[in-house]
A and B are shown apart, each in its own frame.
Chain A
Amino acid sequence: MMHIHRLEKIWLTFGMAMLAVFLLILGLSAFTMGMDTPNSGHDHSVHAAKLSETPPFDHPAITQIGDREYEAVMTAWAFGYSPDQDQLVVPAGSTVHFSVTSSDVVHGFEIPGTNVNMMVLPGEVNHVSHKFDEPGEYLILCNEYCGIGHQAMFTKLIVT
Chain B
Amino acid sequence: MAQSVKNILQGEDRKEKPGAVPASEQPSSGEPQLKGTFASVMLLGAFLLAAWVAVFILYLYRK
Contacts and interface: CB of A to CB of B under 8 A. Distances in A.
Contacts of B52: 22
B42 interface: yes
A123 B34 CA distance: 54
B42 A18 contact: no
A15 B56 CA distance: 18
Contacts of A14: 42, 45
A48 to B, nearest CB: 30
Task: Please report whether the interface of chain B is mostly helix, strand, loop or mixed according to DSSP.
Answer: helix
Contacts of B41: 11
Task: Please report whether the interface of chain A is mostly helix, strand, loop or mixed according to DSSP.
Answer: helix
A11 B62 contact: no
B32 interface: yes
A1 interface: no
A10 B45 contact: no
B49 A18 contact: yes
24 contacts: A5-B31, A7-B34, A7-B35, A7-B37, A7-B38, A8-B34, A10-B38, A11-B41, A11-B42, A14-B42, A14-B45, A18-B45, A18-B48, A18-B49, A22-B52, A25-B56, A33-B63, A35-B59, A35-B63, A113-B62, A114-B62, A115-B59, A115-B62, A115-B63
